[in-house]
Amino acid sequence: MPYLFTSESVSEGHPDKVADQISDALLDHFLAFDNQSKVACETLVTTGLTVLSGEVKTESYIDVQTVARDVINRIGYTKGEYQFDGNSCGVISAIHEQSPDINQGVERASEEEQGAGDQGMMFGYATNETENYMPLALQLSHMLLIELAALRRENDAIKYLRPDAKSQVTIEYNDDNKPVRIDAIVVSTQHDDFDEEPAMLAKIKEDIVKILVPRVVAKLKPENQALFNNDIKYHINPTGKFVIGGPHGDTGLTGRKIIVDTYGGKGAHGGGAFSGKDPSKVDRSAAYATRHIAKNLVAAGVADEILVQVSYAIGVAEPMGIFANTYGTAKVDMNDGEIAKKITEIFDMRPAALIKRLKLMNPIYSETAAYGHMGRASEIKKVTFSSPAAADVTQEVETFTWEKLDYVDQVKQSFGL
């Protein structure tokens, strides 16, 4: 029987994402000047105020206030009328040193035996329904907001946009679990005040349907373009006026958008947030590693869809276990338990090994903090960081390494494909 599936995304100006981006910017600065830094930074943003908290062990000094303000201004909160802007909001730091009780469980005399930074389970997921092996509903939700932010910065076709926004896409699937049409699209975008509310709502809906959606559709493959039709139900700013937004409209906290950050409700999530955490925290690094595994297995043809789980005990290097679920889509003559055993033979999931494999000690995290940590393109680029206590640091980094299909040949060989 056909069914509907929905995923949502939020923009870089959403208050929770503002908090995530500040936390990851702090992390990147600490890693840039001391790549052995241990960081767990949490951020709260609200009307006229940013609060930085968390635990850090580092040899570097960072002007955390300047970092936070730069992020807020880059996102677009630059006007006093927003009741939250980078130049005038208060910034309070309550960051303190990491607990030695935690640190002693992580650091070891032998780097290879580095213990996991926490207990818990992490999941990676991949499906072949899109080019980047991500669920289609989430991919479209992200694309709507990426294009909306581009339109806001262009300030040409649409001139009234403000930074805060959310999107949601509902897709109908057939009995073979293949997408057949877009059923509904929801977009709520913050905007400048209009003189007349009915005219405002009509203008916003017209611009979203006739300007934003076509820009997204134009970037899709033909088979996904065909999912769009004139019968889509559009809910554009369904509550009406949306002038008060961002941290003034809703307090933001680091780590509250973990489903947006991962797979939009497909697969599973272990519960641990990512932003502000250095890679010794397996909440983050092992979630990236399991995505890397799942994506390479699907790309190699092991299954059309796969979920990979890994679990750890704090301070222990070897995982407690690895689990795989192919949802009955496996293309190899193995059950899911046998596939999981193969995974353990191909991929070393000790924290130090996966950190080295994915080059996670580098300052690569700011880009992950909006529009999803998964399904992004890996790039090599130069980044520069400033500190009042040291000379500027410029280094070449590789982003989104967990999205690389660099193990496909090894997986095929191991599985006899």
Q: What is the DSSP string of 197-237?
A: HHHHHHHHHHHIIIIIHHHHHTTS-HHHHTT--TT-EEEES
pLDDT at residue 197 greater than cutoff 90: no
Check the annotation: does 241 bind a ligand. Answer: yes
pLDDT at residue 404 greater than cutoff 90: yes
Asked whether residue 69 falls in the same domain as residue 183, the answer is no
Asked whether residue 75 falls in the same domain as residue 183, the answer is no
- Residue pLDDT, tens place only, 16-48: 999 999 999 999 999 999 999 999 999 999 999
pLDDT at residue 108 greater than cutoff 60: no
Structural domain count of the chain:
3
Check the annotation: does 16 bind a ligand. Answer: yes
CATH of the domain at 280: 3.30.300.10
User: Residue 100: pLDDT band by 50, 70, 90 thresholds?
Assistant: low
- Residue pLDDT, tens place only, 158-179: 999 999 999 999 999 999 999 9
**Angle at CA 176, nearest 5°, toward 175 and 181?**
75
| Average pLDDT, rounded, for the chain | 93
pLDDT of residue 144: 98
pLDDT of residue 55: 95
pLDDT of residue 47: 97
The arithmetic mean of pLDDT across residues 65-78, rounded, is 97
Residue 284 lies in a domain: yes
Check the annotation: does 14 bind a ligand. Answer: yes
User: Residue 195: pLDDT band by 50, 70, 90 thresholds?
Assistant: confident
Residue ranges making up the domain that contains 305: 120-128+265-415
pLDDT of residue 115: 73
Report DSSP letters for 106-155, one per residue: H--SSGGGPPBSS-EEEEEEEETTSTTSS-HHHHHHHHHHHHHHHHHHHT
Asked whether residue 356 falls in the same domain as residue 223, the answer is no
Check the annotation: does 178 bind a ligand. Answer: no
Asked whether residue 272 falls in the same domain as residue 407, the answer is yes
Residue 112 lies in a domain: no
Asked whether residue 411 falls in the same domain as residue 274, the answer is yes
Check the annotation: does 42 bind a ligand. Answer: yes
Residue 256 lies in a domain: no
Residue 305 lies in a domain: yes
- Residue pLDDT, tens place only, 109-159: 556 667 787 789 999 999 999 999 999 999 999 999 999 999 999 988 899
pLDDT at residue 104 greater than cutoff 80: no
The arithmetic mean of pLDDT across residues 403-413, rounded, is 97
Check the annotation: does 278 bind a ligand. Answer: no
Asked whether residue 307 falls in the same domain as residue 393, the answer is yes
pLDDT of residue 101: 54
Helix (H, G, I), strand (E, B) or coil at 83: coil
Asked whether residue 200 falls in the same domain as residue 56, the answer is no
Check the annotation: does 331 bind a ligand. Answer: no
Check the annotation: does 172 bind a ligand. Answer: no
Residue 114 lies in a domain: no
Check the annotation: does 165 bind a ligand. Answer: yes
Asked whether residue 197 falls in the same domain as residue 298, the answer is no
Cβ atoms 387, 62 nearer than 8 A: yes
Residue 124 lies in a domain: yes
pLDDT at residue 49 greater than cutoff 60: yes
